[in-house]
Chain A
Amino acid sequence: MEKAKVDIDIKKEWEGMIGGNEQAFSEIFTLFYSDLYQYGIKIFNLPDLVKDTIQDVFIRIWERRDTIGDVQSPKAYLISSVRRKLFHNRGARKNEIIEGVIKRENHENFSFITSEFIEIKEFSAQLKNLLATTINGLPERQRELILLRFYYNFKYKEIAGIMEINEQTVRNLMQRALAKLRQKIDRTLWEDIDNIDQLLLTFFFLIKKYSNSA
């Protein structure tokens, strides 16, 4: 319910922006900046470059708003624009980076660190570590797919558009990624699930007891 409402608002703002409304343009920017930044930084760990790229993308959109056709999902459209521009810029900036003008550690694209998963309190430390290493061991495209599917919640069709591959390839990549993951973490995850299950059962039981007595 609530989600649908937000979607409509975004669409409305987007149309407003296409119509030349600066306020709507500014809203769209504020709404998506953080998401675009997170994504950009995963492709290319250079904050300034990512910020500049996002800015470039928005300027271009504003200047060419008359020629932008019907956009199904503004979020997918923006992610895909930033992605294309960043990959383009990565090529252009490579020399600069080799020369060490922008000094940053070598960063593998779409890699994750253990602390990025601490959200799930129920997971054991062992599982968290295993998850992070396994995800980082996946090929770059599979890691990107996981990010797009589970963090950004995109549909396979949208992901196909963003990654510029066909939908069947997306599904194949997903199957390979999940098979690999389960192969590595299966046992540890089952152990954790047993514990979580116990916990949940106790929890439900308590709630039931409480609501019955109340």
Chain B
Amino acid sequence: MVFNKRFDKLFVEEQFQDDVLDFSKEKHTGILEKYSISRKEALYARYLFLGLIPKKKALAEGEVEYARQKLLKIISPTDVQPKVKLSYKKKAIATALKVAAVLTIPLLLSTIYFYQKSKEGVPQQYALGQKAMHYNTVSAPLGAKSQVILPDGTLVWLNSGSSISYPITFNKKIRNVELKGEAFFDVVKDDKKPMLVSTNGLKVKVYGTKFNLNAFGGKKAVKTALVEGRVSIIIDGNKKEHNLKPGQVASFSQGKRVLEIAQIENEDVYIGWTIGKLIFRGESFTEVLDKLERWYNVDIELSDASLANYSMYATFFDENIEQVLDIFSASIPIKIEYPKRKKKPDGTYTKRKIIVKRDMSRQIRLN
């Protein structure tokens, strides 16, 4: 059929657009009569309009809630108490509700345990020049992320397997915080009272800004990525403050004791995890597996060391561990085994284990 000029006027009519988009079996004949068009013409119009509707892109879970909390904090700052919110995935919530009753008691015990522990184990640097103070320690368990609001209103996203300690009230001169692992900070601005985040071998001094700090693992470099504002890095045993500009990332490796500052190419690499994106840009396969272990709370065994150095590029969003490994196995010669979990004598199960092997059938023969 040819491009039909008769439709020009009709197609612009709001009522016509609504009618054909609402084209169901019952209303079918009525619409055809109303506009004296054929069935096929009606379908043509309907699919033309349908084709103009872009797909709904869902925001990451938790993002709306995060924005809402932030807004409420601004319009009524007194209302929001410092609180800890765990953001699990939906599935996890469903399971969690089922076992909630069972969990209550162990949870209570562990709270007491952590409280005791945090009281005993006040890190040395806090104690300097301060009176007896209470500290909170919040951790994000493996496989989950946490969001913490510090006493000054600063928002902290804790990545899986990370923890943060902070005093219940900050002192007058400085906001001292200690981080283990990785966190994204949205620091409330206060020029008179900078925040000092201590971690593996360095401190980050902040007045008010957004940045990501990754201090996972002893050997690997501590990475500070600045999104907004200004921070400076102070290396332990050194007085000099190294300034960072927005869009820069500073890597400090303990071993070499070198601070490298580079331009950020893709911001999501550093902060994507806060909205549930898992991103790899040239990391070695072992680094990838390390990250996956924390992200999904599993143990992954790499049975063939020769696989360790493949560099990986990938972005995941909402995929489960099986899907992620499947995608990797499409690009590198691996096969994955999922052994059954073992039941321990006390009735609980061991942590889930996954074995990654070289897929010999996909070996490329060189001669």
Residues of A within 8 A of B (CB): 22, 25-26, 29-30, 33-34, 37-38, 48, 51, 54-55, 58-59, 62, 100-103, 112, 115-120, 122-123, 127, 131, 135, 146-147, 149-151, 155-156, 171, 174-175, 178-179, 181-183, 185-186, 189-190, 192-194, 196-197, 200, 204
Contact in complex: A29, B68 (CB < 8 Å):
yes
0/1 string, B1-16, CB within 8 A of A gives 1: 1110001110110100
Q: Which of B140-193 contact A (CB under 8 A)?
A: none
Contact pick for A119, options B53, B65, B265, B267, CB 8 Å: B53
A59 and B71 CA atoms in complex are apart in Å by 8
Name the distance in Å between A148's Cβ and chain B's nearest Cβ: 11
Determine if B128 is an interface residue (Cβ-Cβ < 8 Å): no
Contact in complex: B43, A193 (CB < 8 Å):
yes
Q: Interface with A: B44-52, B92-100, B300-308, which one?
A: B44-52
Contact pick for B43, options A22, A116, A196, CB 8 Å: A196
Contact in complex: A48, B44 (CB < 8 Å):
no
Contact in complex: B47, A122 (CB < 8 Å):
yes
Contact in complex: A135, B52 (CB < 8 Å):
yes
**Cβ-closest chain A residue relative to B58:** A34
Contact in complex: B51, A116 (CB < 8 Å):
no
A203 and B156 CA atoms in complex are apart in Å by 53
Name the distance in Å between A128's Cβ and chain B's nearest Cβ: 8
A186: B residues at CB distance < 8 A:
1-3
13 A-B pairs whose Cβ atoms sit less than 8 Å apart in the complex = A22-B79, A29-B71, A34-B64, A38-B57, A55-B67, A55-B74, A119-B55, A122-B47, A149-B52, A150-B17, A150-B49, A155-B14, A183-B3
Determine if B347 is an interface residue (Cβ-Cβ < 8 Å): no
Contact in complex: A171, B71 (CB < 8 Å):
no
A119 and B44 CA atoms in complex are apart in Å by 17
0/1 string, B263-291, CB within 8 A of A gives 1: 11101000000000000000000000000
Overall SS of chain A's interface: helix
**Cβ-closest chain B residue relative to A42:** B54
B2, B11, B12, B57, most chain A CB atoms within 10 A: B12
**Cβ-closest chain B residue relative to A155:** B14
Contact pick for A55, options B50, B55, B70, CB 8 Å: B70
Determine if B318 is an interface residue (Cβ-Cβ < 8 Å): no
Name the distance in Å between B32's Cβ and chain A's nearest Cβ: 14
Determine if B337 is an interface residue (Cβ-Cβ < 8 Å): no
Contacts known (A22-B72, A59-B74, A147-B54); A175 close to B8, Cβ less than 8 A: yes
A103 and B50 CA atoms in complex are apart in Å by 34
Name the distance in Å between A42's Cβ and chain B's nearest Cβ: 9
B246: A residues at CB distance < 8 A:
101
**Chain B residues touching A, range:** 35 or more
Contacts known (A29-B68, A34-B64, A55-B71); A117 close to B54, Cβ less than 8 A: yes
B48: A residues at CB distance < 8 A:
178, 181-182, 185, 189
B43: A residues at CB distance < 8 A:
193, 196-197, 200
Contacts known (A22-B75, A38-B57, A59-B74); A120 close to B50, Cβ less than 8 A: yes
**Cβ-closest chain A residue relative to B21:** A150
Determine if B25 is an interface residue (Cβ-Cβ < 8 Å): yes
Contact pick for B54, options A55, A112, A155, CB 8 Å: A112
Name the distance in Å between B279's Cβ and chain A's nearest Cβ: 15
Q: When A and B form their complex, which 3 residue pairs have the shortest distance between CB atoms, in order from nearest?
A: A116-B54, A186-B3, A150-B52
Contact in complex: A117, B55 (CB < 8 Å):
yes
A112: B residues at CB distance < 8 A:
54
Contact pick for B12, options A37, A59, A174, A185, CB 8 Å: A174
B49: A residues at CB distance < 8 A:
150
Name the distance in Å between B46's Cβ and chain A's nearest Cβ: 9
A204: B residues at CB distance < 8 A:
25
B58: A residues at CB distance < 8 A:
34
Contact pick for A22, options B39, B50, B59, B76, CB 8 Å: B76
Name the distance in Å between B100's Cβ and chain A's nearest Cβ: 25
Contact in complex: B68, A33 (CB < 8 Å):
yes
Determine if B256 is an interface residue (Cβ-Cβ < 8 Å): no
Name the distance in Å between A194's Cβ and chain B's nearest Cβ: 8
A149 and B11 CA atoms in complex are apart in Å by 13
